[in-house]
Amino acid sequence: MPPDAARRSDRSRRAILVAALELVEAVGYARLTIEAVAARAGVGKQTIYRWWPAKGPLLFDAFVELVPAVPDAVITHDLVGDLVVELRDAVVELEDRRFDQVCRALVHEGRADLVALLLMPRRVVLEERLRVARRVGEVRADADLEAAAELLLGALYQRWLLRSAPLTREYADSVVGLVMRALRP
């Protein structure tokens, strides 16, 4: 592609991703149409279909490229405090309407692989923090840290998925308390 065309193409791509993310926040996934994204981005529908087969993968790319990444693990001398920070951040993320709408839709579309990719960074960060804790003896040597991270996040995801009870900061704190009991030497 000549440089000018490549620049135009980059601009269109970005405009489409921005439009998709703004629209899913405004109207929700179910009522989001490719037509509306195209109109808002100032491109033709075919331009979108050239790059993405459906709404799900388009929104996935929009997320990955536009929404700030999960920051690295916070590592202070307070393990419980650090875990609480991570879980509270996870709650804030789950309550972001864009995140919520896109994840639910991807689950339904059978693209749980994409949801897993969206959620994975948080789990990696938690495991990393627990690994440091195990190294300094705050977590027992034989603890399965992958399972522990799944336990910490699974509790939140359950409430998010089922809306069975409010997904509060206090709940995040109590999950950390319970799991830490299982992990202490």
Tell me which of 53, 68, 76, 164 binds a copy of itself, using CB under 8 A.
Answer: 164
> With binding defined as CB under 8 A, does residue 141 bind a copy of itself?
no
Residue 87 makes CB contacts below 8 A (sequence gap 6+) with 152, 153, 156, 172, 173, 175, 176
Stretch that binds a copy of itself, among 46-54, 69-77, 130-138, 174-182 (CB under 8 A): 174-182
> With binding defined as CB under 8 A, does residue 144 bind a copy of itself?
yes
> With binding defined as CB under 8 A, does residue 68 bind a copy of itself?
no
Give the closest residue to 35 by CA, choosing from 24, 44, 27: 44
> With binding defined as CB under 8 A, does residue 53 bind a copy of itself?
no
Cβ proximity to a copy of itself, 41 vs 63, nearer residue: 63
> With binding defined as CB under 8 A, does residue 33 bind a copy of itself?
no
64, 116 in Cβ contact below 8 A? no
CA distances from 2 to 6, 48, 51 (A): 6, 21, 19
> With binding defined as CB under 8 A, does residue 91 bind a copy of itself?
no
Contact pattern from residue 99 through residue 128 relative to a copy of itself, giving x for each residue in contact according to CB under 8 A and a dash for the rest: -----xx-xxxx-xx-xx--xx--------
> With binding defined as CB under 8 A, does residue 185 bind a copy of itself?
no
Nearest distance in Å: CB 30, a copy of itself: 8
> With binding defined as CB under 8 A, does residue 147 bind a copy of itself?
yes
Tell me which of 71, 81, 154, 185 binds a copy of itself, using CB under 8 A.
Answer: 154
Region for residue 42 given its phi and psi (left: phi exceeds 0; alpha: psi -120 to 50; beta: otherwise): left
For binding to a copy of itself (CB under 8 A), which residues are involved? Answer: 30, 104-105, 107-110, 112-113, 115-116, 119-120, 144, 147-148, 150-151, 153-159, 161-164, 171, 174-175, 178-179, 181-183
